[in-house]
Chain A
Amino acid sequence: MVTALLYGLTGLGLFALGLYALITQTHLLRKLLAINVLGGGIFLVLGGLTRRLADNLIDPVPHAMVITGIVVDIAATALGLAIVMRIHALTGHTTLPEERE
């Protein structure tokens, strides 16, 4: 399954991009975007690796796990946005104090 391997490696690339952006970007909304891209990459690695079954069988268990993951992802994003709005309301900034230049 070349396709599955290709998308698994793409997922790894997305994970790396997201992780780098999470470390280096200072705007908190950008960090949330990074977490989402990173999560999407991890789902893609899971989906790609488990798609490489010997015959043309499809495993529904990782599919169910990824659907669960997507819903947890949006819950985390919403909570993160609430925290960002709170930080902005209290300090007037959309960055963390350690990362202000």
Chain B
Amino acid sequence: MTRFIWHAVRLLAAFLVAGMAVGLAFTIVSLPPASPELALTVADNMTKSGVSHPVTAVLLNFRGYDTLLEMAVLLLALVGTWSLAPIQEMPPVTPVAVLDSLTRLLTPLIMLTVGYLLWAGAHAPGGAFQAGALLAALGVLLNLTGWRLPIDATQCYLRAIMAAGLIAFLLAAANGWVHGMHFFSYPHDQAHMLIQFIETFATLSIGITLFTLFLLGRTAPH
């Protein structure tokens, strides 16, 4: 009997989802082309933004609030993960010789790429999120090949690095007040420097936070 109900629920869900998809498909096809107004506004204000890459300008200048809240969401997820997962010690792993030398070779190369992505964000595809994700990927790679990074959730300096991106963002936003402007408005001559300042700390924070999320609450053996 329960099996029958289960099948009925599946069938009902399939019908509902399919009906909704068809309705949405009609809506998408009948929508007029998107208005280019927003793109033109961004293009008109690019010279004031401090960077020459439009996506970075939107992320860190025009829609800075979004990115600020996003950094806060990352920290919240980390707090949630830490409060749910028990702190355990990672089992030690002996690195295989080939993997060991490969990671020794790859680590500086990946660090170089992280720096490049961070620097490129001002004028080409790249920026803090991509660089931070690559930094986290380096941590994952080192962890999987048997290195045990001294990531200890209870240590103060580590938490400071995790919060650094958010704090740098808030400082840069509050800088507007110092210059008699609104919260989150950058003075034109300082915009480039402020964006670089935020992005550098955000890269570190995002990298460490994403790597710690990957560990799911584990800490290194003492």
Contacts and interface: CB of A to CB of B under 8 A. Distances in A.
In the complex, is A directly touching B at CB under 8 Å? yes
Interface of A: 1, 5, 8-9, 12-13, 15-16, 19-20, 23-24, 45, 49-55, 57-61, 63-65, 67-68, 70-72, 74-76, 78-79, 81-83, 85-86, 89, 101
A9 B210 CA distance: 31
Interface in B1-58: 2-3, 6, 9-10, 13-14, 17-18, 20-21, 24-25, 28-29, 31, 33-34, 36, 38-40, 42-43, 54-55, 57-58
22 contacts: A8-B28, A12-B25, A15-B24, A20-B17, A23-B13, A23-B17, A45-B28, A53-B33, A53-B39, A54-B33, A54-B36, A57-B39, A64-B63, A64-B66, A67-B129, A68-B70, A71-B129, A75-B76, A75-B213, A78-B214, A79-B81, A82-B81
A13 B55 CA distance: 27
A35 B45 CA distance: 36
**Interface of chain B: mostly helix, strand, loop or mixed:** helix
A16 B73 CA distance: 26
B77 interface: yes
B77 A60 contact: no
A12 B28 contact: yes
B84 interface: yes
Interface string B80-92: 1100111000000
A1 B76 CA distance: 40
Most buried by B among A19, A65, A82: A82
B21 A15 contact: yes
Nearest to A19: B17
B170 interface: no
B67 interface: yes
Contact of B34 (A53, A60, A65, A82): A53
Given A23-B13, A49-B31, A71-B70, A82 B58 contact: no
Chain B interface residue number, banded? 35 or more
Nearest to A78: B213
Contact of A60 (B54, B66, B73): B54
Contact of A16 (B9, B17, B54, B76): B17
A86 B80 CA distance: 12
A84 B58 CA distance: 35
A32 to B, nearest CB: 13
A100 to B, nearest CB: 11
Contacts of B74: 71, 75
Contacts of B43: 57
For the complex of A and B, the 10 pairs showing the least CB-CB separation, nearest first, are A75-B77, A60-B54, A59-B39, A16-B21, A78-B213, A64-B58, A82-B84, A82-B81, A23-B13, A64-B59
Nearest to B75: A75
B219 to A, nearest CB: 15
B139 interface: no
B216 interface: yes
B182 to A, nearest CB: 20
A42 B43 CA distance: 26
